[in-house]
Each structure stands twice: as C-alpha cells, then as structure tokens.
C-alpha cells in the first residue's frame, strides 16, 4: 500500500554515507550538512541564514480546536533560490514573494523546475539524495531552513497536495482526514475530532457528498473526491500555506472545476501556490503568476512575475506572451 504521508515525512532510510542533502550557503557553495531528521548541523554560520534566537519561532496563536496552525494568513518569500541534483543545477537564483491570502500560480514548460521549486518551499527537496540548494524561504519573515526550525514544523505549516490523489485507500474517509493529526501526536476529544472532520471536509468541498459514508474507505471515492479528501487531510493540521502541484491534471473537467471552486474558497484562510500547465486554470484561479523557463539546458529561472491579468493580457517579456498563448511548451 502506498503510504501518502511517506512523501512528506523525514526519510530515515536516506543514505548517510553519501553527501546527501545539503544547504548551500552561497553560490559557489559552501556545504552545510543537514541531518535528515532534524535541523541542520551547521559547519559554520551560513551567510544567507540570519541568526535567530533559539526557540523564537513564529508567533503562535494556538487553536482551541485540534490542529496545530495559527489561523493567521502568512506570506511565503523565496529569496535567491538555486537548486542542484548532484552537480546539475536546475534552478538559478529564483526569488518570488507569494503573498498572504492570495493564489500564486507557477507556470512554464516541462522540466523548468516548477516542482523542484515547490518542494523547496516545504523542505521536501532534501528527501532526494544528493540534492542541495542555496537561498532562503521565509514564512512570515522566518527562514524555514534556519537551524532552529524543525523540518516537521515546516512541512506541517506548509502543506502539499500532489498531482495524483494519494489518500490511504483502505482507511476510512474520517480517519484519512485526521491521519496527519494522529501522526503528529495531537490529542483531541471525539467531539472535537468530529467537528474538525466536518469542518475540513466542508472547506475542501466534499462534506455534502460524504457526510453519510464517513466510515467507508477513502479508496472508494472518485478521483476528484479523493483529491478533495487529500485537501481536507492537509487542512486538518491547519497549514498556513498550501502547495498544489498540478492538482487537477488527473481529473475530469467537472472535478477540476470543483477543485478550482475549493481553491477560491480556501484562499481566504490559507495562502496557496499552485503549479499548473493549464493556462485557463492559471487565469481562473490565480491572483499572481510566475513564469519559469529553462532555456537550452540552462537552469530554470523566473522570466516574469506579476498580477495574473497583466501576465496574460500585457506581459512585458515576449517569451511570456508566447507561452501563455500556447506558442511553445
Ligand atoms: N529526483 C531528481 N533527480 C535528478 N534530477 C531531477 C530530479 N527531479 C527533477 N530533476 C530534474 O530537475 C529539472 C526540473 O524538474 P522539475 O520536476 O522541477 O520540472 P517541472 O517544471 O516540474 O516539470 P513538469 O512540468 O514536467 O512537471 C529537470 O531537468 C529534471 O529532470
Ligand atoms: Mg512538475
């Protein structure tokens, strides 16, 4: 059985003898090794990572309900992100502000580094052996790669929905929604859990369809319903940012439209970053748009970024115009 949470959990079996995961403090890099299960062990203070008082995390307003988020809208600010797989550089100094309470769409041809960038935003890039990066990712001004931050906190605050819906197929719909809470050891009363399940399924636009069959397995739902179940599962740990990597590419037009409606409703309380190859979708759901390009073997970079309407109607770069009008990619 595929274990969906495995994709976001620290990989304990990562080969340790190899150089493995590293944050590159500068380009050309100074390597700083990171233990796969926790904060980086600094070989020296990386210039790009400002010192933070130990234990001084983001301002938390703990919810009285189960879940671990703060309920406050958060911006995500990527600064000077470069990324490598081994010695191959695939992103070059990408900076992008993903504004609080907005939908930012990442567009661009296949292989330009959109998914890599997205995975860097919640520390999943480091799950790949030999992968490394330079730069900072600030969540409300705090670098998620700072040595005082736990990787599990970053992944809980910055959730991810994948291209292929990946619920626990044999687990009930109800238990799927709260599975993230169980894994993080959050304790809650049955009544609170019931409320949370209803709240998250409602936010994901699935409650009305499944309210009478919460004990049925998640795998019995349609693809579009499974994707909304995965969104509900992500919401249950109260993330501040939701990353979505082509969440509709495996879905039919009706399910796609339903997910797009869900995105429109969620963005009032969760900042959303979505990768999509569907230009109509980018135009429909996003407030701002970033166009990535990796031309002729060079690492991916952002060609242009701005309000979605301007990117589609009046882009500054001719390559943006050509791409959004389907002339390449
Ligand atoms: N695990 C990996 N190991 C080595 N190289 C990788 C790995 N993942 C991605 N790459 C390479 O990094 C580059 C960027 O890939 P990425 O998946 O980020 O592109 P993308 O823009 O998401 O493409 P697509 O639109 O096809 O999903 C590509 O050249 C790809 O081959
Ligand atoms: Mg991709």
What confidence tens digit (pLDDT) does each residue in 38-78 have? 333 323 333 222 222 222 222 223 333 454 445 689 999 99
Identify the band that residue 187 occupies on the pLDDT scale cut at 50, 70 and 90: confident
Please state which of the ranges 120-134, 178-192, 267-281 shows the lowest mean pLDDT. 178-192
What confidence tens digit (pLDDT) does each residue in 211-256 have? 999 999 999 999 999 999 999 999 999 999 999 999 999 888 998 9
Residue 206 Cα to ligand 2 middle (Å): 26
Model pLDDT, residue 46: 31
Mean pLDDT of 196-213: 95
Q: How far apart are CA 216 and CA 116, in angstroms?
A: 35
Three-state SS sequence of 67-79: CCCCCCCCCEEEE
What confidence tens digit (pLDDT) does each residue in 80-114 have? 999 999 999 999 999 999 999 999 999 999 999 99
The percent of residues in the chain predicted with pLDDT above 90, rounded, is 69
The model carries a pTM of 0.81
Beta strands of 66-175 (E only): which ranges?
Answer: 76-85, 88-98, 103-107, 131-139, 142-143, 158-161
18 vs 138, higher pLDDT: 138
Does any ligand 1 atom lie closer than 6 A to the CB of residue 86? no
Mean pLDDT of 175-196: 90
From atom 17 of ligand 1, which residue's Cα is the shortest distance away? 115
Does any ligand 1 atom lie closer than 6 A to the CB of residue 20? no
Does any ligand 1 atom lie closer than 6 A to the CB of residue 53? no
- Does residue 29 register a pLDDT over 50? no
Residue 73 Cα to ligand 1 middle (Å): 30
3 vs 295, higher pLDDT: 295
Mean pLDDT of 189-209: 94
Does any ligand 1 atom lie closer than 6 A to the CB of residue 207? no
Mean pLDDT, all residues of the chain: 82
Model pLDDT, residue 60: 29
Helix, strand, coil abundance in the chain, percent, nearest 5: 30, 25, 45
Model pLDDT, residue 71: 63
What is the number of alpha carbons within 13 Å of residue 104 lying toward its C-beta? 27
- CA-nearest of 59, 17, 20, 60 to 40 is 20
User: Is 75-166+239-324 in CATH node 3.30.70.270?
Assistant: no
Mean pLDDT of 139-148: 94
Model pLDDT, residue 22: 57
Q: Among 92, 114, 126, 127, which residue has the most ligand 1 atoms within 8 Å of its CB, making it the best to mutate?
A: 114
Identify the band that residue 159 occupies on the pLDDT scale cut at 50, 70 and 90: very high
Please state which of the ranges 168-172, 247-251, 271-275 shows the lowest mean pLDDT. 247-251
From atom 27 of ligand 1, which residue's Cα is the shortest distance away? 110
The percent of residues in the chain predicted with pLDDT above 70, rounded, is 78
């Amino acid at each position: 059985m595929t274990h969906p949470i495995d994709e976001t959990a620290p990989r304990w079996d990562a080969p340790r003898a190899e150089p493995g995961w590293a944050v590159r403090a500068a380009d050309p890099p100074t390597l700083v090794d990171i233990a796969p299960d926790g904060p980086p062990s600094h070989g020296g203070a990386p210039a790009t990572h400002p010192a933070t008082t130990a234990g001084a995390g983001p301002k938390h307003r703990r919810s009285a309900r189960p879940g671990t988020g703060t309920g406050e809208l958060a911006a995500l600010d990527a600064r000077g992100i470069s990324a490598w797989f081994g010695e191959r550089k695939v992103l070059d100094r990408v900076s992008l502000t993903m504004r609080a309470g907005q939908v930012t769409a990442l567009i661009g041809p296949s292989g330009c580094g959109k998914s890599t960038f997205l995975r860097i935003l919640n520390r999943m890039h480091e799950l790949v052996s030999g992968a490394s990066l330079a730069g900072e990712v600030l969540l409300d001004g705090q670098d998620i790669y700072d040595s005082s931050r736990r990787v599990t906190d970053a992944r809980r605050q910055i959730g991810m929905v994948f291209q292929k819906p990946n619920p626990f197929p044999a687990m009930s719909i109800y238990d799927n929604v709260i599975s993230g809470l169980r894994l993080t050891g959050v304790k809650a009363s049955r009544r609170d859990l019931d409320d949370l399940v209803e709240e998250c399924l409602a936010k994901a636009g699935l409650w009305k369809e499944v309210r009478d069959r919460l004990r049925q397995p998640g795998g019995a739902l349609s693809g579009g319903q499974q994707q909304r179940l995965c969104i509900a599962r992500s919401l249950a740990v109260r993330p501040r940012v939701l990353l979505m990597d082509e969440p509709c590419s495996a879905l039919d037009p009706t399910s796609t439209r339903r997910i797009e409606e869900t995105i429109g409703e969620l963005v009032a309380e969760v900042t959303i970053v979505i990768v999509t190859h569907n230009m109509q979708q980018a135009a429909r759901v996003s407030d701002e748009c970033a166009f990535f390009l990796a031309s002729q073997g060079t690492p991916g970079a952002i060609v242009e970024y701005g309000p979605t309407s301007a990117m589609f109607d009046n882009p500054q770069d001719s390559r943006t115009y050509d791409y959004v009008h389907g002339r390449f990619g």
